[in-house]
Amino acid sequence: MARFSRSDFTLESFRRQLANVDALPQLCVLGLVSGVITGAVMVAFRLLLEAGAVLYMPEGNPEAFEGLPPGLRSLLPLVAVSLIGVLLYRQKASAHKLGVGHVIERLSYHQGRFPLRNWLNQWWVGVVSVLGGLSAGREGPAIHLGAAASSGLGVKLRLPNNSLRVLVACGTAAGISASFNTPIAGVIFAMEVVMMEYTLMSFMPVILASTMAAMVAQVVYGNEPAFRIPEVALGSLMNLPWVVILGLIVGLLAGLFIHISRNTHLQQWPLWLRLSAVGVATGVVAWWFPQVQGIGYDSVAGVLNDQLEIKVLLALMIAKLLITALTVSGGIPIGIIGPVLVVGAATGALIGMLGGWLWPDKAADPSIFAMLGMAAMMGAVLQAPLAALMALMELTHTPSIMLPGMLAVVVACLTARQLTGCEGFFISAVRYGLHPLQQPLMQALSRVSVPAVMERSLVRTERLITVDQARRLLESNPVWLIIERSSEEKTVLALKGATLARWLLEHDEALEDKAPPEHEQVDLLEIPGQRLELAPIGLQATLSEAFLKLQDDALDALYVVHGYRPKQQRISGIITRGAIERYYYYADPKDNDSAV
């Protein structure tokens, strides 16, 4: 039976274990804790929305814009954009970044670390956007709040950066799960849209986080599906060609949405003009069609139960798509998944009605096409087919819809990508044809932190030492000698311990029983041997960070700094380019003779 010491259960030991690629149990523990934290954050956010709605919305319903007087509901978007313009855009530019795009950016370029100011801004901007009658969803705030809260846990505990990446995925999945009661879709969304990879080491913690968050939300809100729909089925397979047509139309609409959202001409307008355009356009449409405001889940429920008129469906398909895209292009950080689902449902219902008019005997119920349109639009806009299909099943609790759903989603995704030239909505920066998170080398190196492969056998020394000091340095058989310089401006160097041992052997042979010169010194920069220039890197850094630093600075090795106060930092090890390459090629740090 294995014996455990008290040191095995310390936080320092936990950090050290997380640095390795096989830290699955430790990551699962983090997933459980992340799920509980994010579930609580999401419940708080939803309660905040409900508390705000009590002030002026009919029956305290955050989506009941139809019950407001036309003047009030048209005025709300102007108030919302004014608050965002005054309170958000007076802050520095980096504080304006919110939502899913911000999460992906922090994961890609900042190792999953989130600024506190952006997180605090997300609370009130999310509430103002939804209750202010803008065409906005709550999933963007949910993902940002969940991912940042989970990452903040890791930062507080000073966990290695490879575990922060998993915590971001856990928070993302948990945010979706708790916000919409869709645990499976949350997992798939986190892996497909945010992490952009599927690995066992990430999947299991993310599943646990999503499960725990759903349980926390269900304690407060119950386990009801988001939409209640009648029992319907596709019926005749002759409807499949009509499903393909649905996919084509939805794919074109998705491409239109992305192109307007990313329109550089609109983004160059002055801020006041952009915000005014969003507020006025939303207010004008809301005067006649309040269904375009807010998330629109009440409208989706109406579409699925055939309760909306054709003119309302047309407004949801065209006006809500254009207004949502204009809002994004105008610089207002909103969640887009909710509005996208509404647009897809309305489009699908209209196509289903047209099919029923053309072929009344064989056509399926329009609500079937509405469900297919939801999944197709979400999949095409995000280029995330699996997440869209899982969301479709969990939101509707209709497994029979999956077969035509797969066809509609694939056709829509291909149409948006190939015919309109649109990548996923959140993939805005590519390098060598790939987003940084999609590059296989960076993905592999990001799963492990430097302690897993660094060489710990080293001693620190000054440049000039005596022969006796040199012998004492080698008593512990160090692999590396860290040569510290006389000033901080000079580069720290590393010399192999074997090089000094060889020089001492040759020095002793050259003396031939003669007494060594008195006060003889050894200059470690002059003895024959290769010396590596070093730059510092933090103990929490991942191998991808180390690799990029070596590439950018044209170095062969880095020294790993341990400690959080400048005057108390110590060197814990050395990581060389060769150690990183051996890890990548063999994918097992235990095979690396530098690992400890």
Instruction: Say which residue, 327 or 263, is predicted with more confidence.
Output: 327
Encode 531-553: b = buried (16+ Cβ within 10 Å), e = exposed: bbebeebbbbbbbbbbbebbeee
Q: Does position 113 have pLDDT exceeding 80, yes or no?
A: yes
Q: Among 1.10.3720.10, 3.20.20.70, 1.10.10.10, 1.10.3080.10, what is the CATH number of 11-443? A: 1.10.3080.10
Beta carbons of 181 and 223 less than 8 angstroms apart = yes
**8 A C-beta contact, residue 114 and residue 348:** no
Fold matches, 11-443 and 451-591:
no
Give the CA dihedral 228, 229, 231, 237, nearest 10 degrees. -140
Calpha distance 116→156 (Å, rounded): 12
- Which of the four pLDDT bands, split at 50, 70 and 90, describes residue 4? very low
> CA-to-CA distance for 75 and 70, rounded, in angstroms?
9
Tokens of 431: 């390098």
Q: How far apart are CA 313 and CA 512, in angstroms?
A: 99
**pLDDT value of residue 329:** 93
- The amino acid present at 554, given as its one-letter code, is A
Give the lowest-confidence range in 67-71, 87-91, 370-374, 448-452. 448-452
Per-residue confidence (pLDDT) for residue 332, from 0 to 100: 94
- State the number of CA atoms in the 13 A half-sphere of 70 facing the CB: 5
Task: Choose among 452, 562, 448, 453: nearest CA to 158.
Answer: 562
Q: Which whole number is the average pLDDT over 345-356?
A: 92
Q: What is the pLDDT of residues 216-253, one digit of tens each?
A: 999 998 887 666 766 666 767 778 889 999 999 999 99
The CA-based diameter of the chain, rounded to the nearest angstrom, is: 110
Stretch 403-423: mean pLDDT: 93
Token pair for residue 114?
């989130």
The reported pLDDT for the residue numbered 279 is 96
What torsion, rounded to 10 degrees, do the Cα atoms 219, 225, 231, 234 define?
-140
More confident: 116 or 521? 116
- Residue 212 to residue 224: CA distance in whole angstroms: 17
pLDDT at 341 over 90: yes
Instruction: For 119-153, write each residue's pLDDT tens digit.
Output: 999 999 999 999 999 999 888 999 999 999 999 99
Task: Tell me the C-alpha distance between 333 and 96, whole Å.
Answer: 8
How high is the pLDDT of residue 445? 78
pLDDT band at 525 (very low <50, low <70, confident <90, very high): confident
Q: Give the per-residue pLDDT at 421.
A: 87
The band of 589, judged by pLDDT with boundaries at 50, 70 and 90, is: very low
pLDDT of 555: 81
293-310 average pLDDT score? 90
Q: Token pair of 488, please?
A: 């901080």
CB atoms within 10 A of CB 180: 26
Q: In the block, which residue shows the tokens 């299909």? A: 389
Cα first-last separation, the chain = 23
User: Mean pLDDT across the stretch 521-526?
Assistant: 86
pLDDT band at 326 (very low <50, low <70, confident <90, very high): very high
How many alpha carbons fall within 13 Å on the CB side of residue 404?
27
- What are the distances in angstroms from CA 340 to CA 127, 261, 458, 547? 19, 13, 57, 39
Written as six digits, the tokens of 578 are: 């060769």
Determine which of 34-48, 76-90, 325-339, 524-538 has the lowest per-residue pLDDT on average.
Answer: 524-538
Does the pLDDT value for residue 52 go beyond 90? yes
For residues 435 and 2, the answer to whether their CB atoms sit within 8 Å is no
Select from 551, 535, 461 the least CA-distant residue to 499.
461
Contacts of 235 (CB under 8 A, 6+ apart): 362, 364
Please compute the mean of the pLDDT values over residues 60-70 and round it to a whole number. 92
Q: What is the mean pLDDT of residues 158-172?
A: 90
CA–CA gap between residue 261 and residue 325 (Å, rounded): 5
- Give the integer Cα–Cα distance in Å for 63 and 58: 9
> Got the DSSP string for 272-319?
HHHHHHHHHHHHHHHHH-GGGSS--HHHHHHHHTT-S-HHHHHIIIII
pLDDT at residue 515, as a whole number: 65
Architecture of domain 451-591: Roll (3.10)
Mean of all residue pLDDT scores within the chain: 86
Q: How does DSSP classify residue 514?
A: P
**Under 8 Å between Cβ of 377 and 250:** yes
Show me where the domains of the chain are located. Answer: 11-443, 451-591
Label residue 415 left, alpha or beta by phi (over 0 means left) and psi (-120 to 50 means alpha): alpha
What band does 196 get if pLDDT is binned at 50, 70 and 90?
confident
